Chain A
Amino acid sequence: MNVQEEGRGSPPSDDPGDDHIPEASAERDGAEPGGAESGGAESGSVKPGGVEPVALRLHPLTFVVGAARELIALLAAGAAGLAVGGLSTAFYFTLVGLGIGFVFHLATWATFTYTVHEDRIALRRALIGRSVKTIPRDRIRGVDISATLAHRVLGLAIVHIDAGADGGEGELNAVSLQEAERLRKVLLARASTAAERAAPEPQRRVLGRMESRWYVYAPLSGAYLLTPFALAGSLLGTLYNLSDDFGLITRDRLENLGHEVVGLPTLVVIILAILFLIAMPVMSVIVFTLFNWDFTVYERDGSVVAERGLMTRRSVSLERRRIRGVELADNPFERLAGVVRLGALVTGLGDAAHRGRLLPAAPGTAVESLARRVLGPPPAPLIMHPRGARSRRITRAVAPPAGVGVLAVLAGQPWVAYGCAVVALLAVPLGIDRYRQLGHASDGERLTVRSGSLRRRQAVVEHGAVVGWRIRQTLFQRRLGLATLVVAVGAGDGGYPAVDMAEEDAPAFAAEITPAWLDPFLTR
């Protein structure tokens, strides 16, 4: 396997067939019959010249999942209602609400069908008025399969069809797991690769996988550190709402609670605070693990699939030819620990920040080897930007706090001004680091730009994915002989800036990557 990967110099988008076919046909002789059977039975609906496409319903158990939430609500409400004082009117209302919800779920299920045609998939809704949503199959850019705990207990899965900005998206909530797998296979296989589709169950080739000790990196990212607050907040909110509904909350009780909290001895408060501080990283690791448990990236059928999650198992398929680049991101803490996050830049992927994720936190070497397998080696080393960029980075870091400080002085708020002065001083090393992180590079096939410090991002983009160049120069930049080159890409954020390059390097860099576009406008 390693040999294959080393040998791949060209962008991976053009070789889906080569790796698969020999092994796939070998598999056909042997241990195949069970797996493809369910697919074989139904895929008659999509074969050219085959049977008329069949309108399919969602899985009959779907309404159970839908109703489960209401059921839980009912049980909670019922228990609470009984505890408060027998069956109250509110309780009956809840019961009726549940009944209506139940009927609604059943009717929704009965009136929703989907049909996989040769060139499109149609989602037909006929509950209140009719609506048909048609997604052309060549527009489909990704098929995600996810399942909540309830879905997994019942063997169901949600299929999310993503069709880019103009094609819209569709959701099938829920179908059986086999049907989900079949749909993914059918929908992601393009018409041109009929041979590939006919091949039996393609093998999955694991590209990367979370190792158990990497989950400890969670607190570094900062994003998960606040989860205890969020959890406590939502728990308190729910409790408050629930007890408010049942008249448990009165003014007296609230005031008593307030007095009790204020009356707590200082020691207890301090201990509570310390406990909370300890809980923050621990909780962040737990939540991170819940979301990213057994994070696995594998390749199958010309797609890169990322699977993750403990309770809700989520899998995102990214069509290989639509992966036009990767993004490596980290913050100063992660940099100290050598930890990087990896994401894919995929054309027409909604919610790319979450769904394009390839590794949530991993050592730099692991991230780089995965990046190499998904896209190819990132160009290195980076070319540093000229000295003028440094003063500009520092000025821009210091200016906002300094400005606020001046305003504070004018407004006669000395303490705010002191605070601003401290922040402004701290901003100097930040500016210097921002300068040090600036860089760009290009090899024969990919280019890369890097910027940022508190959130450093390095984008690696295939040359072929560039859709335009934008060079920006303010009056200040002009004085320093600098310019910012924005690489316009039809994936990810849409544009990745190489901030404060040398003025004459910007067109030169662009000309090196797409000489034909620049040459007519260059003068020596």
Chain B
Amino acid sequence: MPVTSVRRAHQPDGGGPRLRPPAHRVSPRAIAHWAIEYLLLWGLGLGLAWGVAAWIDDADWDGLPGWMIERVWWLPFLIGVAGVLMVTVAPVWRYRVHRWEVSSDVVYTRTGWFSREWLLVPVSRIQTVDTEQGWLERMLGLATIEVNTASHAGSSEVAGLPVAVATRLAEDLARRAHDLRDDAT
């Protein structure tokens, strides 16, 4: 084991090994899934903002500075623009980031979009494997696998897998986790 307890300077790029991305993409239908989800969420937000703006406009309330009341309709407008961006950009971005791979003894995932997360969970530390399907996922034939360890920080979720893949993977992982289980917890 190399001795590392020595102060060392930040190495310039290209020094150390890098993590390669996991091998498999999730199903392209996941884009539709995320888009619909964002659409519903931001649609709701837009509706609420609209309502609030209309209410403030009507109520003649002087608890806010004048310039805010004059521009109160900016609120739903801004939320609408952000929502359109989210619905169009984020799902594709996410699809490009989301990847997964199961090697002989590690579940390796990459998730996120604006910020990314790489998660490595060894099969031997897995406690439970769940598959889940929300109503939207059921319509699109997708499923989510949840891999839980004794730590919430070490629990991963692979969303947007085709149902058949998810089921097979969950069974496989559960069986192997049972065989390999060691008592780290």
Residues of A within 8 A of B (CB): 347-348, 379-381, 383-384, 386-387, 410-412, 441-444, 464-475, 477, 481, 486-491, 494-495, 502, 504-505, 507-508, 510-512, 514, 516-518, 520-524
A499–B15 CA distance with the chains assembled, in angstroms: 20
Residues of B within 8 A of A (CB): 1-8, 10-11, 13, 15-20, 22, 65, 101, 103-106, 108, 114-122, 125, 149-156, 184-185
Contact of A510 among B1, B120, B156 (CB under 8 A): B120
B152 touches A495 (CB 8 A): yes
A473 touches B7 (CB 8 A): no
A467/B16 contact (C-beta < 8 A), A488-B151, A512-B2 known: no
A201–B125 CA distance with the chains assembled, in angstroms: 36
6 contacts between A and B (CB under 8 A): A469-B119, A470-B117, A470-B120, A489-B154, A494-B151, A512-B2
Q: How many A-B residue pairs have CB under 8 A?
A: 158
B149 touches A468 (CB 8 A): yes
A517/B106 contact (C-beta < 8 A), A467-B154, A468-B122, A504-B15 known: yes
B13 touches A469 (CB 8 A): no
Contact of A495 among B2, B108, B115, B154 (CB under 8 A): B154
A218–B2 CA distance with the chains assembled, in angstroms: 41
A488–B151 CA distance with the chains assembled, in angstroms: 6
A467 touches B184 (CB 8 A): yes
B122 to chain A, nearest CB (A): 5
Contacts of B122 in A (CB 8 A): 467-468, 514, 517
Contact of A472 among B1, B116, B154 (CB under 8 A): B116
Contacts of B15 in A (CB 8 A): 504
A411–B66 CA distance with the chains assembled, in angstroms: 10
Contacts of B125 in A (CB 8 A): 467-468, 490
B13 touches A521 (CB 8 A): no
A444/B65 contact (C-beta < 8 A), A475-B114, A517-B122 known: no
A471–B118 CA distance with the chains assembled, in angstroms: 5
A502/B10 contact (C-beta < 8 A), A468-B120, A507-B18, A516-B105 known: yes
Contacts of A490 in B (CB 8 A): 125, 149-151, 154, 184-185
Contacts of A522 in B (CB 8 A): 17-20
A524–B17 CA distance with the chains assembled, in angstroms: 5
Beyond the given A474-B115, A507-B18, please list 18 additional residue pairs across the A-B interface where CB-CB is below 8 A.
A383-B6, A383-B7, A383-B8, A386-B10, A465-B184, A467-B150, A467-B185, A468-B121, A469-B118, A472-B116, A488-B121, A489-B153, A490-B154, A491-B150, A491-B151, A514-B122, A521-B120, A522-B20
Contact of A520 among B106, B117, B119, B152 (CB under 8 A): B106
A487–B121 CA distance with the chains assembled, in angstroms: 11
